[in-house]
Amino acid sequence: MLTLRKKLLVAKFGGTSLADRQNRDTAVNHCRSLLEEAEKLVVVVSAMGRSGDPYATDTLLDLISTGSSIREKDRLMICGEVISALVMASTLRNNGLSAEALTGWEAGIRTDGVSGNARIVSVDTARIEESLSRHSVVVIAGFQGVAPMGHLNTLGRGGTDTSAVVLGVALNADEVLLYKAVDSVYTADPEKVPLARELSRISAEDLRQMAWQGARVVHPRAAEVAQASDLALKVRSFRTGEVVTSVATEPLEDTRYIVGVAAGHVVTGFTVTGSGNPSSFFAGLFRKIADSGISMDMFSVFSCSAAFTVPVESTCEVGKLIDSMNLHYTTTGPCVKISIVGAGMHGLLGVMARFCEALERVDVNALQTVDSHATISALVLLEQRDEALRELHREFIE
């Protein structure tokens, strides 16, 4: 039976996949295999390596002072992906494949202008399509785009996943393939939960929720775009080249109601008390912190008291902001938000009870809880994170 070749595939390679010549040669082999499946290929790349490697994002940031503006940091950080795209295109040509490198702005990626954490608002694909008419492979620097006023933006950590998925949608690609150093999307981080299980299939909604709650295999915005666009998205093992996890845009009927557990970044918990009109108190407090550019999470409000979390590195700044309002506050930390994830839990009885009972069994205190239709989360001390994750995994997955 004759199998028709796909017209276009989009493949994303992360920093560790391109860190050295041997890995880049492996990436070239993957590209060669993909060109047997498809007529054309768009490759989206991250900066080469990790912190300490010459062109990695964190290495570049260490070259300038911490007082540099976010816009200046954006201009520096984009260099890592640009270098990576140029090196990858050169490596492809040296191996007999016709290839050209484009920066994010040359590729027509337009952003909303938010320095350091921009969102892609549109893609003008004309330049990419022109390049594809002349080459088998176009290599595009991920993690970046150009703002309305012409300055350059980065998309936040892990943003190359988002670049690849958005480009896949804009170019009407047959599939987007994310090559990862891990061998699957797992029900938990295997380094923290040894009995974590591989997920050969996951719904885009569950993947999105897992990503937002801290699972770091796929960027949450990439999962959001895939879900909204009905895009065929697959995770492949960089080591083997095999598809290890397929992402379904529709809910899966044969999946568990809890698909995984995840832990977020290290945070500090704040509890702030005030007086007077509660609505005015909450509005003033949250606006003050939001205007400083600090992200907040895990909101709980009652009377004239508010509890929330902020990134641990923002603790001192938030404390000063609250002091300037003459409000009383206490802090707890370092802490982590741990979550169970599964769109199938919506409406089921007893899930919160089992969640709390699991934490009680291992003497982990839930300092605060929040829930949605697809998640239940608790704030716990950082030192109790791994034990809590393992017990929740035992309760709901194993």
pLDDT along the chain (398 residues), means of 10: 76 91 95 95 93 86 85 91 96 97 96 90 96 97 92 87 94 94 85 91 85 78 83 90 85 71 93 90 91 88 91 93 93 93 77 93 93 88 96 92
Looking at residue 339, its pLDDT comes to 93
Is 174 in the same domain as 282? Answer: no
Task: Report the C-alpha gap between 274 and 266 in whole angstroms.
Answer: 26
Integer Cα distance of 268 and 310 in angstroms: 6
Establish if 212 belongs to a structural domain: no
* Distance in angstroms (rounded) separating the CA atoms of residues 148 and 377: 38
Strand partners, 308: 270
Pick from 97, 94, 188, 83: which is nearest to 138 by CA? 97
8 Å CB contact between 99 and 61? no
Judge whether 345 lies within some domain: yes
Identify whether the C-beta of residue 45 lies closer than 8 Å to the C-beta of residue 13. Answer: yes
How is residue 18 annotated by DSSP? G
Q: How many degrees, rounded to 5, is the angle at CA 141 between CA 139 and CA 146?
A: 130
As to burial, measured by CB atoms within 10 angstroms (0-12 exposed, 13-18 middle, 19+ buried), residue 45 is buried
> pLDDT at position 168, please?
95
In a domain, 132, yes or no: yes
Q: What is the CATH number of the domain that holds 273?
A: 3.30.2130.10
Are 158 and 269 in a shared domain?
no
Q: Tell me the C-alpha distance between 240 and 177, whole Å.
A: 13
Q: For residue 15, give both structure tokens.
A: 């920093």
**Global model pTM greater than 0.95:** no
Q: What are phi and psi of 257, to 5 degrees?
A: -75, -20
Structural domain of residue 325, as residue ranges? 260-396
29 and 116 housed in the same domain: yes
The residues with which 44 forms a beta bridge, in sequence order, are 12, 140
